[in-house]
Amino acid sequence: MSVVPNKTESEKLPLVVGSWQQVWSDGPGGGPPGSGGTLADSVFQVVFPDGYYWNIGKNKVGNVRSMGYLRGKFTIEPNQLGIEFTKSVGSPGWVVDDTESYLLAMRAEVGSFDSVPTPGPIGKKGFLANVYVDEDLRICRGGGDDFGTGTYLYILERDSEF
């Protein structure tokens, strides 16, 4: 007997939609705070029901602070989401603490940060499987295709600002 009922990604999607804050990851962007690049505890993912999402992160390299916005699209497969990164933009400095990640994602979607294109994994494809999701917690594994043979683990909690 399973503690968690077996559901398809389609059945999980209503719970996945919304704003999430990463609390731990062994994947890209999961390094310890201060290690350079994206700060692990400052990564958000905002998932929209229309088949796209935005990963938003505070970046710090040396003393330079910036925000990164990485857009992806997804297709629903029975046991995972097929993902592809489609856009990467940024903005100098950090946003004010407690800025709603949903609003930042909406601003990115309408092109507010397009004047600062950034290098990113545009066109890379892979998968993201929601192993567990409820109203407050989401555990995913991801990888595949353009991300090599390994898989990564992501633990996120619902962003209370959403």
Residue 68 has pLDDT above 60, yes or no: yes
| Among the listed residues 117, 147, 134, the one whose alpha carbon sits nearest the alpha carbon of residue 29 | 147
CATH number of the structural domain spanning residue 88: 2.40.128.280
Flag whether 1 is in a domain.
Answer: no
For the stretch 106-153, pLDDT in tens is 999 999 999 989 888 899 999 999 999 999 999 999 998 787 778 999
What is the domain range of residue 83?
A: 9-158
- Is 2 within a domain? no
Distances, alpha carbon 36 to alpha carbons 40, 104, 135, 141, in Å: 10, 22, 32, 23
CA-CA-CA-CA torsion sign (99, 70, 138, 74): positive
Q: Let me know: does 141 contact 150? Beta carbons within 8 Å.
A: no
Within a domain: residue 75?
yes
Q: What is the pLDDT of residue 124?
A: 93
Is the pLDDT assigned to residue 30 strictly greater than 60?
no
How many domains is the chain partitioned into structurally?
Answer: 1
The confidence band for 36, taking pLDDT boundaries of 50, 70 and 90, is very low
If phi > 0 it is left, if psi is from -120 to 50 it is alpha, else beta; for residue 14 that is alpha
Q: Which residues contact 132 (CB under 8 A, 6 or more apart)?
A: 4, 138, 139
> What's the pLDDT band for 37 if we cut at 50, 70, 90?
low
Sign of the Cα pseudo-torsion (125, 129, 133, 139, in order): negative
Q: How buried is 153 (Cβ within 10 angstroms: 0-12 exposed, 13-18 middle, 19+ buried)?
A: middle
pLDDT the model gives residue 6: 83
C-alpha distances (whole Å) from 94 to each of 50, 74, 89, 146, 155 are: 28, 28, 14, 30, 23
d(CA 41, CA 81) in angstroms, rounded, equals 24
| 46 inside domain | yes
Evaluate if residue 63 carries a pLDDT over 80: yes
pLDDT of residue 40: 58
Which residue, 22, 126, 20, is CA-closest to 77? 126
